Amino acid sequence: MIGVFDSGLGGLSVLAAISRALPGADLLYLADTAHLPYGAKSDDFIRGRVLAIGRHLANCGCSTVVVACNTATAAALRALREQNSEIAVVGVEPGVKPAAASSLSRRIAVLATESTAKSAGLARLIRDHRGEVAVHVEACPGWATRIEKLDLNDPALASEVSAKILPLLEAGMDRLVLGCTHYSFLAPLLEPLIIGRAELVDVAAAVARQVVRLSGESTGSDGSLKLLATAKPERLLAALPALGLGWLAARVSAPAQLADI
């Protein structure tokens, strides 16, 4: 079984990519909704949550655990790997490398939570992959929480997003890296703003390919999806259609459950 987790709904963007790549695999999604947003919390707090959830997923029988959260990956991926050598651990890092490699203007922006924006992991990623490209990091406080509320058609969110994005476009940035898995769900808002001027860079499909490489073809599984949350588990199933993922609901094998972690 493949376990995928995030602070909340954001990791569903990664889960969807994994589900497309491995339609026969058994999947377990865990949302740490009692503790979101991670992006405004300390590294120590996030590390504690990641280690507890990773252990829980391993105890549930997951042989692969996907940290479908840039913030958690930056704060705790190494610790999770060190403490769980018996499972394969996959993280999510902002797509600085593909963005820098494809930028024509040689200017790119990374949109991320406050925690990821100031992380050593992102600084290293930029240092290793920027080449001659100028990389601007834009923290987007509050965006993940707004997405959790599913108020994606709220005009106030649209104007907040465009107030952030237009100056980046005016500064010539032609790649916008979605450095938080929640932001994939802003694509319908972002695409019309950037059309003809910039492209979004999302790593969900690349993460799914990495999961396929590590977990191989699944045998003895029936393509089920189990949903767990540390608070309000019923919201997960309801969120799927609101996020354009209604097709994933067909894989859900049982009512979403509360996870006491």
How many CA within 13 A on the CB side of residue 238?
8
Q: Does 140 bind ligand DGL (CB under 6 A)?
A: no
* Token pair in block for residue 101: 């490699």
Q: Among 231, 223, 185, which Cα is nearest to 204's?
A: 185
Rounded Cα gap, residues 10 and 5, in angstroms: 9
The answer to whether the peptide bond before residue 192 is cis (omega within 30 degrees of 0) is no
Q: Does 7 bind ligand DGL (CB under 6 A)?
A: yes
Binding pattern for the stretch 13-32 against ligand DGL, x by CB under 6 A and - elsewhere: --------------------
Rounded Cα gap, residues 77 and 156, in angstroms: 35
Q: Which of 3, 18, 19, 39 binds ligand DGL (CB under 6 A)?
A: 39
* Least gap, CB of 198 to ligand DGL (angstroms): 20
Q: Does 38 bind ligand DGL (CB under 6 A)?
A: yes
* Least gap, CB of 102 to ligand DGL (angstroms): 21
Query: Taking CB under 6 A as the criterion, which residues in 48-77 touch ligand DGL?
Result: 69-71
Give the CA-trace dihedral at 150, 156, 161, 164, to 10 degrees: -150
Nearer to ligand DGL, 164 or 218 (CB): 164
Name the residues that contact ligand DGL, by CB under 6 A: 6-7, 10, 36-39, 69-71, 113, 116, 144, 180-182
